[in-house]
Amino acid sequence: MLTVDFQRFRVRPAERVLDMGCGAGRHAFELYRRGAHVVAFDLDAGELAEVERMFGAMRLEGEVPEDAAAETVQGDALDLPFPDGHFDKIIASEVLEHIPDDMRAMRELLRVLRPGGRLAVTVPSWLPERLCWALSEDYHTAPGGHVRIYTRAELEAKLKSTGFRVDGHHHAHGLHAPYWWIKCAVGVNNDGNPLAKAYHQILVWDIMKRPLATRLAERALNPVIGKSVVVYFTKPSVPSAEPVKETADAV
């Protein structure tokens, strides 16, 4: 289930792309399929082991172009172990809301992105997330959970103050917001609840089959209750140096 729209965030073969906070790897796998040189980065060694295993399976099954490359790197988003300007593109999906010092993480994203490179950031949308927090304390107080609720304006303002230019936005996963409201109402760990199980089956069916009815429903719901907001940014190119003016004494 992809949150970033790869029609808006086009990735070319051999581009260096960082999936920062990759989690289970859904965007990293798509980047790999598109021929990128992918770095799946996360703090969780267990998640990264599974991502590495899937990279290997994709190679064996011939799912990726021959010149594509993928690796996993463990580390801290506040101190990315990469040189300045290393990546052509970066995805940071559903991760900044977990980081107390989000501004420092944003400055690191700017640092490791090349001038002219693009960044896609996704975070939970304000309204669906606000309702989840209201329905369940466990939803947002679990260790490693969400530490803030962004408005889109706040997210854009923080990244603009860091040095990025805003390129547009959209919402995603409108069908998923009601599922999380149900989960929060019945208990976020109560996977056996009949209503939660039934709705989860619908979501799995939608992901696997992509029927027209649910695709149209989600398209209508996204602007209103889309579970995630996706914002695209560019790191401005370094201004060219001013030409040296000749003086009367110049030879």
This prediction has a pTM of: 0.92
- Is residue 148 in a domain? yes
CB atoms within 10 A of CB 221: 19
Give residue 242's pLDDT: 41
The b-or-e profile of 51-85 (16+ CB within 10 A means b, else e) is beebbeebeeeeebeeebbbebeeeebeebebeeb
In a domain, 173, yes or no: yes
Q: Tokens 């086009």, residue?
A: 10
pLDDT of res. 172: 98
List the pLDDT tens digit at each of the 251 positions of the chain: 899 999 999 999 999 999 999 999 999 999 999 999 999 999 999 999 999 999 999 999 999 999 999 999 999 999 999 999 999 999 999 999 999 999 999 999 999 999 999 999 999 999 999 999 999 999 988 888 899 999 999 999 999 999 999 999 999 999 999 999 999 999 999 989 999 999 999 999 999 999 999 999 999 999 999 999 999 999 999 654 444 343 333 32
Could you tell me if residue 170 is inside a domain? yes
Residue type at position 9: F
Structural domain that includes position 118? 76-234
Q: Does residue 161 lie in a domain region?
A: yes
What is the DSSP pairing of strand 228-234 with strand 165-172? Answer: antiparallel
Query: Does some domain include residue 176?
Result: yes
Distance CA 179, CA 191 (A): 11
Alpha-carbon distance of 64 to 61, in angstroms, equals 8
C-alpha gyration radius of the chain? 20
How many domains are there within the chain? 1
Give the three-state DSSP class for 50: helix
Question: Which residues make Cβ contacts (< 8 Å) with residue 8, sequence separation at least 6?
Answer: 168, 170, 232
pLDDT value of position 191: 87
Is position 162 within any domain? Answer: yes
26 assigned to some structural domain: no
Q: What is the pLDDT of residue 143?
A: 86
Question: Do the Cβ atoms of 130 and 235 come closer than 8 Å?
Answer: no
Confirm whether 225 is domain-assigned.
yes
CATH code at position 130: 3.40.50.150
